Amino acid sequence: MELSCKSEYAILALLELAASYQSGEPLQIRQIAAQQDIPDRYLEQLLATLRRGGLVKSQRGAKGGYVLAREPWKIPLLDVFSCLEGLDAAVPELDSSAKTIERSVIQEVWQEACQAANLVLQKYTLQDLCEQRTARRQMDIMYYI
Amino acid sequence: MELSCKSEYAILALLELAASYQSGEPLQIRQIAAQQDIPDRYLEQLLATLRRGGLVKSQRGAKGGYVLAREPWKIPLLDVFSCLEGLDAAVPELDSSAKTIERSVIQEVWQEACQAANLVLQKYTLQDLCEQRTARRQMDIMYYI
DNA sequence: ATTATACCCCGGTTTTTTACTGGGGTTTGT
DNA sequence: ACAAACCCCAGTAAAAAACCGGGGTATAAT
Shortest Cα distance from B7 to chain A (angstroms)? 10
Q: Which of A36, A106, A109 sits opposite B102 (nearest CB)?
A: A36
Closest residue (Cα, C1') to C20: A42
Q: What is the pLDDT of residue A132?
A: 96
DSSP state, residue B89: H
Q: What radius of gyration do chain A's Cα atoms show?
A: 18
Residues contacting residue A70 through CB under 8 Å, at least 6 positions apart: none
User: Could you name the CATH architecture of A5-144?
Assistant: Orthogonal Bundle (1.10)
Measured CA to C1', the nucleotide nearest B31 is C6
Model confidence at A98: pLDDT above 90? no
Question: Would you list the domain boundaries of chain B?
Answer: 5-144
Q: What angle do CA A99, A101, A104 make, to 5 degrees?
A: 75
Enclosing H/E stretch for A59: strand A56-59
Distance of CA A144 to the CA centre of its chain: 31
Confidence label for A95 from pLDDT (cuts 50, 70 and 90): low
Q: What is the pLDDT of residue A137?
A: 86
Q: What is the pLDDT of residue A141?
A: 78
Of A67-81, A95-109, B27-41, B111-125, give the lowest mean pLDDT range.
A95-109
Closest CA to B17 of B65, B64, B53, B79: B65
Task: Give the separation between CA B98 and CA B104, rounded to whole angstroms.
Answer: 6
Q: What is the pLDDT of residue A139?
A: 80
Query: B70-104, pLDDT tens digit by residue?
Result: 999 999 999 999 999 986 665 666 655 557 899 99
Measured CA to C1', the nucleotide nearest A56 is D6
- pLDDT under 50: residue ranges of chain B: none
Q: What is the pLDDT of residue A9?
A: 98
If DSSP codes are grouped into helix, strand and coil, which group holds residue B57?
strand
B85 CA → D27 C1’, Å: 32
Closest residue in B to A5 (Cα) is B103
Query: A26-66, pLDDT tens digit by residue?
Result: 999 999 999 999 999 999 999 999 999 999 999 999 999 99
Confidence label for A1 from pLDDT (cuts 50, 70 and 90): confident
**Is residue A13's beta carbon less than 7 angstroms from any atom in nucleic acid strand D?**
no
Task: List the nucleotides on chain C closer than 7 A to a protein CB.
Answer: 4-11, 18-22, 26-30
A109·B100 Cβ contact <8 A: no
Q: What is the mean pLDDT of chain A?
A: 92
Q: Which residues of A touch B (CB under 8 A)?
A: 1-3, 8, 11-12, 15, 36-37, 77, 85, 89-90, 92, 99-110, 112-114, 116-121, 124, 129, 132-133, 136-137, 140
- Check if the beta carbon of residue B117 is closer than 8 Å to that of residue B126: no
A94 CA → C30 C1’, Å: 55
Closest residue (Cα, C1') to C8: B48
Task: Give the separation between CA A64 and CA B116, rounded to whole angstroms.
Answer: 40
Q: What is the pLDDT of residue A13?
A: 98
Task: Give the separation between CA B27 and CA B80, rounded to whole angstroms.
Answer: 18
Count how many pairs of residues, chain A against chain B, have C-beta atoms within 8 Å: 101
